Structure 1
Amino acid sequence: MKRLAKGLTTLVFCLLVVMPAYAELDRQVIYLFGDDRALVLVGNKCQGTVFYVDNKQKFATKVTSGFKVSLFPFIHPSKKYIAIPYRDLSGLMVSKDYGRTFEDASFTPGGGAEEFKGNHPLVKDVVSFTVVGDQGFFLTKQNYIYLSSKPFGDRWGLNYVALNAIDHLTYKHQENFQNFPTSVPEVKDYKGWTHMQCDPTR
């Protein structure tokens, strides 16, 4: 516990050093990837502007504003590909360069599970979101998997689709949308948090 507290203090210090303009605003570490990387929320009542902070590399990147903390399990050992879903699953912000820049990602139109309307899973159905091997995997209560493409090609990681809907996509023959795993890969020895955390009274 002392090690974790020390890590949080150092990460917040890094945020203040890199972006002193935010020094007077309320901030919380809402997710810890491990000892050196975290998501820091600047705002109140668990919403505001979220930053990705890399203490080891000494930088902090603004991810997005108007962010609300997600409540479903979130397991993220990947370092190069960072995926941060919006709470309502209307999309994600992703980085493919270790958190130095972020861009929009989305669920592909027509790429939802066949039994449900819409392109993305319902928040109430999400069992977990896991980012491992530079791919993102949403698992639902119905045992559907929504996942991003394999990590290569110009648009890798920017389109999420249900496994059982891939055959309906125009780009199903692209190499990075083939030979997907049929289950969420196992994560071993992960030292980060498994949920985002936030104090709603702040």
Structure 2
Amino acid sequence: MKRLAKGLTTLVFCLLVVMPAYAELDRQVIYLFGDDRALVLVGNKCQGTLFYVDNKQKFATQVTTGFDLPLFPFIHPSKQYIAIPYSDLSGFRVSKDGGRTFERARFLPGGGAEEFKGNHPLVKDVVSFTVVGDQGFFLTKQNYIYLSSKPFGERWGLDYLALNAVPRKTLSSEENFQNLPTSVPEVKDYKGWTHMQCDPTR
């Protein structure tokens, strides 16, 4: 616990050094990827501006504004590909360069599971979101997997779809959507948090 508390203090200090304009605003570490990286929320009542902080590399990047925490399990050992879903699953903010820049990602139109309408799973059906091997994987209660492409090509990591939707999408020419994993890869020795967390009274 002492090590964790020290890590949180150091990470918030890094944010203040890199982004001094936020020194007077309330800050909460809402997610730890491990000892050196975290998500820090600047705002009130668990809503506000989200920052990705890398204490080892000494930088902080603004990810998005108006951020609400997703409450489903969030397991994220990947270091190069950072994927942060919106709480309503309307999209993502993703980084493919270790958190230095972020861009918008999406669920592909028509990329939902056949039995359900819409392009993405319902929030209430999400069992977990895991980002490992520079790919993102949603697992649902129906045992469907929504995932991003393999990590290469121009749009890798920016388009998500249900695994069983791949054959009916026009993806035959896109190598990064071929031979996809059929299950969520096992995560071993992960030292980060498994959920985002926030004190709503602050």
TM-score normalised over the length of structure 2? 0.99
Task: Confirm or deny: 8 A CA contact 1:110 1:168 kept in the other structure.
Answer: no
Alignment-derived partner of residue 55 in structure 2: 55
Alignment-derived partner of residue 79 in structure 1: 79
**2 CA distance for matches of 1:45 and 1:199?**
7
Alignment-derived partner of residue 123 in structure 1: 123
Alignment-derived partner of residue 162 in structure 1: 162
1:97-122 per-position Cα deviation (integer Å, ceiling 9, x unaligned): 00000000000000000000000000
Alignment-derived partner of residue 173 in structure 2: 173
Unpaired stretches in structure 2, ≥5 consecutive residues: none
TM-score normalised over the length of structure 1? 0.99
Unpaired stretches in structure 1, ≥5 consecutive residues: none
Alignment-derived partner of residue 36 in structure 1: 36
Identity, in percent, stands at 87
1:130-170 per-position Cα deviation (integer Å, ceiling 9, x unaligned): 00000000000000000000000010000000000011211
SS of 1:179's equivalent? coil
> Which letter does structure 2 place at the counterpart of 1:26?
D
**2 CA distance for matches of 1:41 and 1:105?**
20
Task: Confirm or deny: 8 A CA contact 1:70 1:85 kept in the other structure.
Answer: yes
Residue 178 of structure 1, CA deviation: 0.7
> Which letter does structure 1 place at the counterpart of 2:85?
P
Alignment-derived partner of residue 3 in structure 1: 3
Whether 2:25 is the aligned partner of 1:25: answer yes
The size of the alignment, in residue pairs, is 202
Structure 1 residues 85 and 47, CA, compared in 2 at 3 Å: closer, same or farther? same
**2 CA distance for matches of 1:151 and 1:179?**
13
